[in-house]
């Protein structure tokens, strides 16, 4: 009897061990499939980030907020590497190759040239590394490729058409007669564009004007120049335009850095925004919100880097966790005038 009991015990142990072995093998297999680590181990995952240029005021805000969010979501600070692509496409491609070689688990890229994003997509897809583009949207054909190929590639950002429309609406809300300072029945405007290759520039330029045309305002373009998102370049362009044309009534800038440059030139020419000329930008940089409150700028549009960077970090983490991720993750702009400027200021100063 005793011997039978011992045999039964041994048999049970064998079955249990075999099953445990099987479970261990399954878990080992699962871990191998996941690259040897559980997807829940977020702290141990590596994130490689390329920013087109650290010098850009807006991207500097975005970058810091992105890093903070990644850490908040559990990624270890030591595993986040953020590099400056120095506005050079080749440098950025090399940086992506380097990240791939280092075995990052996810890439976040603010492309230098969104029209050449396919180069970066191909590298990431070939290496099997998910990729999140931010701020500069690749074109429609490129985005279609991600869907058709079921690539782990997404874009997180706003629709720049909305920011252009909001710029137009800020001017429209002042009323035609108030804006037509010289009373000639049409609005003379000067446009300062960012980078003509960038969809944000293209749409902001197009939609700010289209909004006023749709409101049946007669417009006259007295100049449309490229400021490359840059304050000093815009200052020079504005100074020249004011020298040549005394009748500019509205200045549209594709971003706030350039609006700050335009403001310097306007004030150096002894003109007052709100009395002699109107000026709008995009981004809602802290300094610009202050000027909107003081009346030194007509308005701006909040380019919500907080929501955008958080959504980008969360999208990257969802890829790591193998959760369902959309190819397009959109955010909203907010119109900023003296009425709500304080509220936006509180939001970004939090
Ligand atoms: C911002 C600009 C910035 C550009 C960089 C735009 O969304 O409005 O300020 O220079 O992104 O790509």
What's the CATH class of domain 161-302?
alpha beta
pLDDT, residue 181, reads 97
Do 40-158+304-332 and 161-302 have matching folds? yes
pLDDT recorded at residue 3:
45
User: CA 222, CA 224: separation in Å to the nearest integer?
Assistant: 7
Mutation test residue for ligand 1: of 66, 117, 194, the one with most atoms within 8 Å of CB: 194
Residue nearest to atom 11 of ligand 1 (CA): 135
Please name which of 348, 316, 335, 337 lies closest in space to residue 99, comparing C-alpha atoms.
Answer: 316
Query: How close is the Cα of 110 to the center of ligand 1, in Å?
Result: 10
Instruction: For the beta carbon of residue 83, count every other beta carbon within 10 angstroms.
Output: 17
Going by pLDDT thresholds of 50, 70 and 90, the confidence category of residue 245 is: confident
The atom of ligand 1 lying closest to the CA of 160 is 7
Q: How far is the CA of 254 from the centre of ligand 1 (A)?
A: 8
Question: When comparing pLDDT for 4 and 214, which is higher?
Answer: 214
Does an H or E element contain 51, and which?
strand 47-51
Question: How many angstroms separate the CA atoms of 211 and 171, rounded?
Answer: 10
Please report, for residues 129, 196, 273, the alpha-carbon distance to residue 143 in angstroms, rounded to integers and kept in the order given.
17, 20, 41
Domain borders along the chain are: 40-158+304-332, 161-302
Tell which atom from ligand 1 comes closest to the C-alpha of 229.
Answer: 10
Can you tell me whether residue 199 is helix, strand or coil?
Answer: helix
* Atom of ligand 1 lying closest to residue 158 CA: 7
* Residue 59 pLDDT class (50, 70, 90 cuts): very high
Nearest-atom index, ligand 1, CA of 136 = 12
pLDDT over 60 (residue 10): no
Rounded distance from Cα 283 to ligand 1 centre (Å): 8
Please state the pTM of the whole predicted model.
0.86
Nearest residue (CA) to ligand 1, atom 3: 58
pLDDT value at residue 28: 33
Are the CB atoms for 119 and 91 separated by under 8 Å? no
Residues near ligand 1 (Cβ within 6 A): 56, 58-59, 135-136, 194, 198, 200, 229, 255, 257, 282-283, 303
For the domain made up of 40-158+304-332, the CATH class stated in words is alpha beta
In the predicted structure, residue 15 carries a pLDDT above the cut 80: no
State in Å: Cα 198 to ligand 1 middle.
9
Rounded CA separation 313/106 (Å) = 10
Mean pLDDT of 73-78: 96
Q: Which segment of 25-39, 138-152, 217-231 scores lowest on mean pLDDT?
A: 25-39
């Amino acid at each position: 009897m005793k011997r039978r009991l011992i045999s039964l015990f041994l048999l049970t142990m064998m079955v249990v061990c075999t099953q445990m072995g099987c479970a261990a093998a399954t878990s080992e297999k699962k871990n191998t499939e996941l690259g040897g680590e559980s997807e829940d181990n977020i702290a141990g995952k590596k994130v490689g980030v390329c920013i087109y240029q650290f010098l850009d005021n807006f991207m500097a805000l975005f970058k810091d907020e992105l890093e903070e969010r990644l850490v908040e979501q559990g990624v270890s600070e030591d595993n986040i590497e953020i590099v400056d692509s120095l506005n050079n496409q080749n440098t950025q491609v090399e940086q992506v190759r380097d990240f791939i070689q280092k075995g990052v688990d996810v890439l976040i890229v603010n492309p230098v040239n969104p029209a050449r994003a396919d180069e970066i997509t191909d590298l990431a897809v070939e290496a099997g590394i998910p990729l999140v583009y931010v701020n500069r949207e690749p074109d429609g054909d490129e985005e279609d490729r991600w869907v058709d190929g079921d690539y782990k590639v997404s874009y997180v950002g706003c629709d720049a058409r909305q920011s252009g429309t909001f710029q137009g609406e800020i001017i429209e809300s002042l009323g035609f007669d108030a804006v037509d300072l010289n009373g000639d029945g049409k609005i003379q405007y000067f446009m300062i564009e960012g980078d003509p290759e960038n969809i944000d520039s293209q749409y902001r330029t197009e939609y700010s004007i289209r909004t006023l045309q749709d409101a049946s305002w007669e417009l006259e373009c007295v100049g449309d120049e490229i400021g490359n998102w840059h304050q000093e370049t815009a200052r020079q362009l504005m100074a020249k335009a004011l020298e040549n044309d005394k009748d500019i009534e509205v200045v549209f800038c594709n971003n706030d850095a350039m609006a700050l440059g335009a403001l310097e030139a306007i004030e150096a020419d002894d003109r007052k925004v709100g009395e002699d000329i109107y000026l709008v930008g995009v981004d809602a940089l802290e300094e610009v919100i202050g000027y909107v409150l003081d009346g030194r700028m007509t308005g701006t549009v909040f380019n919500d880097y907080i929501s955008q960077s958080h959504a980008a970090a969360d999208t990257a983490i969802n890829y790591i966790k193998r959760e369902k991720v959309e190819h397009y993750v959109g955010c909203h702009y907010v119109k900023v005038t003296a009425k709500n400027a304080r509220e936006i200021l509180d939001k970004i100063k939090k």
